[in-house]
C-alpha cells in the first residue's frame, strides 16, 4: 500500500497523522473540502475513480463536545452518516480493497461493563447527549462490517479510539472536548486572576483521553498489519481517570493556584467510558505519551495557535 486517501486531513487526527514520521513512506492524498465534498456522492465517486488509492482512511466528520451535540443532533447524525456512506459505497463500487474507518467510543452502550470490549457495540441504549452522532458512526461502522463479511477480499476495518486531545484541537466553549475545554478555562481564569474554575457535575465521571500523536502512531501500526485486524479494534490507554483528575493535572501543568467549583445542573454524559485494548496490544502497539506530557504540549499549542 503506497497511495492513501485520507479524509479529514485538516482536522486534529488528520494533521497528527500527516506529521507522523511514517508519513514519508506513503503518498498521502488529503484533499480539502473544496477539492472533495464528501456530501456530494457523485463527486466522491469521480475523485476515487480518478485517484484509485490503495487504501482509504476515513477521519472526516462533524465533531464536538456535549454542548454541541445537544444543540445540533440533526447535523451530527445526518452529516456523519452521509459522508461515511458516500465514501464507503463508492470505494466498494470501485473495488478499492482496503479501508480504515475511524469510529467512536460513543457507539458503546451508556450502561456496560468497563473496560468496553468491541463485542459490546450496539448491545444497549446509547448515551442520549450524543445519540445522533453515535448512531451515525455506528451505522457507518456496520456498513464496513457487512462489506468485509460478505466478501473477504475487502478489508474494511473500524478503529475505535477513546477520547483524543492534543495539537490542532478545538478550544472554544461549544465544540471543545474535556481536556481542551479545561485548558481554555484555566488559562482564562489565570488571565483574569479568578479564584476558581467551574466543573460540570461533581467531577466523578470517568473518561479515557489519549494524546493525538499516540492515535496517529496506532493508525500506522494498523495500516501495516491490516490483515491481522478484526472488524473492530479499540485504541486507547487502557485506563481511565475522573474528570477531577483531569482538572488537577491541567492545573498542575499550567501552575494555576485557584480552586474548583461544581455546577451540578450541567450534563456530564456517561458515568464511565474506558476501552479494552487487548486486541491492539496483540499486534504490538501501546501508547507512549503520559497525561502530563500531553497536556504540556497541548498547552504550548494553545498559546501559539494561529487564531490568537
For residues 134 and 265, the answer to whether their CB atoms sit within 8 Å is no
The rounded distance, in Å, linking the Cα atoms of 270 and 242 is 12
The rounded distance, in Å, linking the Cα atoms of 182 and 245 is 11
DSSP 275: B
Active site residue 156: no
The rounded distance, in Å, linking the Cα atoms of 169 and 181 is 10
Q: Which of 16, 83, 56, 53 is nearest to 223 (CA)?
A: 56
The rounded distance, in Å, linking the Cα atoms of 83 and 234 is 22
Here the cell at position 206 is 470517568
The residues that bridge with 241 in the sheet, in sequence order, are 207
The residues that bridge with 3 in the sheet, in sequence order, are 27
Check 133, 156, 247, 299 and give the catalytic one.
133
Here the cell at position 138 is 455506528
How many C-beta neighbours within 10 Å does residue 187 have?
17
Active site residues: 133
Amino acid at each position: 500500500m503506497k497511495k492513501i486517501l485520507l479524509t479529514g486531513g485538516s482536522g486534529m487526527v488528520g494533521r497528527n497523522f500527516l506529521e507522523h514520521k511514517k508519513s514519508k513512506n506513503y503518498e498521502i492524498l488529503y484533499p480539502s473540502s473544496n477539492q472533495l465534498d464528501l456530501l456530494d456522492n457523485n463527486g466522491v465517486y469521480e475523485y476515487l475513480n480518478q485517484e484509485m488509492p490503495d487504501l482509504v482512511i476515513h477521519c472526516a466528520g462533524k465533531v464536538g463536545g456535549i454542548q454541541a451535540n445537544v444543540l445540533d443532533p440533526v447535523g451530527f447524525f445526518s452529516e456523519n452518516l452521509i459522508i461515511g456512506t458516500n465514501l464507503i459505497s463508492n470505494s466498494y463500487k470501485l473495488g478499492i480493497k482496503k479501508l480504515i474507518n475511524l469510529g467512536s467510543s460513543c457507539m458503546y452502550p451508556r450502561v456496560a461493563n468497563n473496560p468496553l470490549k468491541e463485542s459490546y457495540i450496539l448491545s444497549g441504549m446509547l448515551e442520549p447527549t450524543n445519540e445522533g452522532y453515535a448512531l451515525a458512526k455506528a451505522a457507518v461502522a456496520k456498513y464496513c462490517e457487512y462489506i468485509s463479511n460478505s466478501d473477504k477480499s475487502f478489508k474494511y476495518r473500524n478503529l475505535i479510539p477513546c477520547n483524543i486531545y492534543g495539537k490542532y484541537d478545538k478550544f472554544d466553549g461549544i465544540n471543545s472536548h474535556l481536556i481542551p475545554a479545561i485548558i481554555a478555562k484555566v488559562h482564562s481564569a489565570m488571565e483574569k486572576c479568578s479564584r476558581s474554575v467551574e466543573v460540570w457535575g461533581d467531577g466523578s465521571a470517568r473518561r479515557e483521553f489519549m494524546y493525538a500523536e499516540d492515535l496517529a502512531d496506532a493508525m500506522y501500526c494498523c495500516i501495516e498489519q491490516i490483515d491481522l485486524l478484526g472488524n473492530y479494534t479499540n485504541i486507547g490507554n487502557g485506563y481511565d481517570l475522573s474528570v477531577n483528575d483531569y482538572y488537577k493535572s491541567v492545573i498542575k501543568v499550567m501552575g494555576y493556584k485557584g480552586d474548583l467549583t461544581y455546577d451540578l445542573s450541567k450534563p456530564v454524559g456517561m458515568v464511565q467510558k474506558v476501552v479494552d485494548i487487548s486486541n491492539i496490544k496483540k499486534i504490538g502497539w501501546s501508547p507512549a505519551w503520559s497525561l502530563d506530557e500531553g497536556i504540556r504540549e497541548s498547552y504550548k499549542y494553545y498559546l501559539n495557535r494561529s487564531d490568537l
